[in-house]
């Protein structure tokens, strides 16, 4: 069984979190049945953007990375204090541990920023939220990433993307990397994409 850890910081973007839950869940029920998703946060109940509350499976200090094959990180809203936890040393350390073991790390939108802040995107290709004045892409570059003007960027084991519009594609790409292209296309089709 391939196990995905969904890492939730407070202020997480609920749509971006939900695509990982859905794609991995659809695969467990109607795909090759080889994936499971578990959630993690700093507190048992994590409050996301727009007041969405989510009860997680693990607290961040309970996670054994050897139990997981991939890490999924949705973005979030500064207005809901996303960066307070997304930039916390324990959050960044977990990212570093997954990267050291060359496990897949999939992010959506500003979920790329804690990956970059952790140091694992230093001199690696990545992208992040690009709307308006591209302040988030500048931050990504300031953390040492080589910013690519593309909706989804893969550099070895790390997937980054630039907005919620990429969410389902990132989740399906994660599924493809965990299982197969044929299986990922099957889930894409039965989900109506």
Tell me the HSE value of 43 on the side-chain side, using a 13 A CA sphere: 10
**DSSP three-state, residue 5:** strand
Give the model confidence (pLDDT) of 90-100 as tens digits. 999 999 999 99
The pLDDT of residue 134 is: 83
- In the chain, which residues have pLDDT < 70? none
The pLDDT of residue 133 is: 72
The pLDDT of residue 9 is: 98
CA 37, CA 22: separation in Å to the nearest integer?
Answer: 9
Domain extent listing, the chain: 2-186
The CB density around residue 78, as the number of other CB atoms within 10 Å, is: 12
Any idea what DSSP says for residue 12? B
The pLDDT of residue 106 is: 98
The pLDDT of residue 167 is: 98
CATH (residue range 2-186):
3.40.50.880
């Amino acid at each position: 069984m391939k196990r995905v850890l969904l890492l939730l910081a407070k202020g997480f973007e609920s749509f971006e979190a939900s695509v990982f839950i859905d794609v991995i869940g659809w695969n467990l029920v109607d795909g090759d049945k080889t994936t499971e998703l578990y959630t993690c946060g700093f507190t048992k109940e994590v409050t996301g953007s727009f007041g969405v509350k989510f009860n997680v499976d693990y607290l961040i200090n309970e996670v054994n990375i050897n139990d997981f094959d991939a890490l999924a990180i949705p973005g979030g809203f500064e207005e809901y204090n996303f960066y307070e936890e997304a930039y916390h040393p324990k959050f960044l350390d977990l990212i570093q541990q997954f990267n050291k073991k060359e496990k897949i790390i999939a992010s959506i939108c500003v979920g790329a920023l804690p990956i970059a802040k952790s140091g694992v995107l230093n001199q690696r290709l990545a992208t992040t939220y690009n709307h308006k004045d591209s302040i988030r892409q500048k931050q990504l570059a300031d953390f040492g990433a080589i910013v690519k003007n593309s909706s989804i960027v893969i550099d070895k084991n790390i997937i980054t993307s630039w907005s919620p519009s990429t969410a389902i594609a990132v989740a399906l790409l994660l599924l493809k990397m965990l299982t197969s292209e044929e299986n990922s296309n099957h889930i894409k089709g039965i989900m109506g994409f």
